[in-house]
Every structure is written in C-alpha cells, then in structure tokens.
Amino acid sequence: NAGVTQTPKFQVLKTGQSMTLQCAQDMNHEYMSWYRQDPGMGLRLIHYSVGAGITDQGEVPNGYNVSRSTTEDFPLRLLSAAPSQTSVYFCASSPDRNGFSGANVLTFGAGSRLTVL
C-alpha cells in the first residue's frame, strides 16, 4: 500500500548511543518532515526537506541530523541519545514543494516510539 513507512516501531537506547530512524514514502512526495510528539505538547517539527539534497531545521532540531539523498527516503539520526529524546517520532510527507506552504495535507507514518534510558 502507498504511504509513509517508518522503522523501527519501537526502540530502547542507552544514553550516548546512536541510532537512525528510517522513513520512506512511495508517493513521489517532494516535502518530507520529522515531528516529535510529547504528552500535552502536540507535535513539534524537528527537521524538514522540500526535495532531494535540501534540508532545513524546524522548531526543535538540536540533537538530530537528517539527510535527503533521494526523494523517497528521509532518515533521522540521533548521534548521542539523551533521556530528553524519549518520545514518539512521526515522519510526514506532502505532494510537492507547496507542502511547505502548509496548504497541502500531510500524510503521516505510524510512528516510532523511542525510549532513552
């Protein structure tokens, strides 16, 4: 089925470990983004991309890196995990660069639940 696929669904890390959350979409969407969801705070934008080779910071980028080598993939890297990064992470995509205008609808993945001990 077409959509946004995130892996892994669950992950437990120790402080200081690194890992990558994977996100792939098969809808040829130009715009992709990563959000974190914390109780009572809604979703906050971490990083986004308006096309292959282009990335930019969102509201809470510290401690995270991204790259966009292809249209389909947008991995999120945690280089040295901290307990404050315990959260549920969502990848979302939108049809074209106008997704950045906010008028287009985001398609969300099912989420990745990360716990940092």
Residues that bind other proteins (CB under 8 A): 4, 35, 40-45, 58, 90, 92, 99-103, 105-106, 108-111
For the chain, the residue count is 117
d(CA 58, CA 61): 6
CA Rg value for the chain: 13
> Nearest distance from residue 114's CB to other proteins, in Å?
14
Task: Show the tokens assigned to 6.
Answer: 């995130």
> Nearest distance from residue 106's CB to other proteins, in Å?
7
Residue closer to other proteins (CB basis): 17 or 22: 22
Residue closer to other proteins (CB basis): 5 or 17: 5
Instruction: Tell me the one-letter amino acid at 35.
Output: Y
Residue closer to other proteins (CB basis): 19 or 45: 45
> Nearest distance from residue 43's CB to other proteins, in Å?
4
> Nearest distance from residue 109's CB to other proteins, in Å?
5
Q: For the chain, give me the number of helices (H) and strands (E)?
A: 0, 11
For residue 48, CA distances in Å to 33, 36, 91 come to 4, 12, 9
- The SS3 assignment for 114 reads strand
Residue closer to other proteins (CB basis): 41 or 117: 41
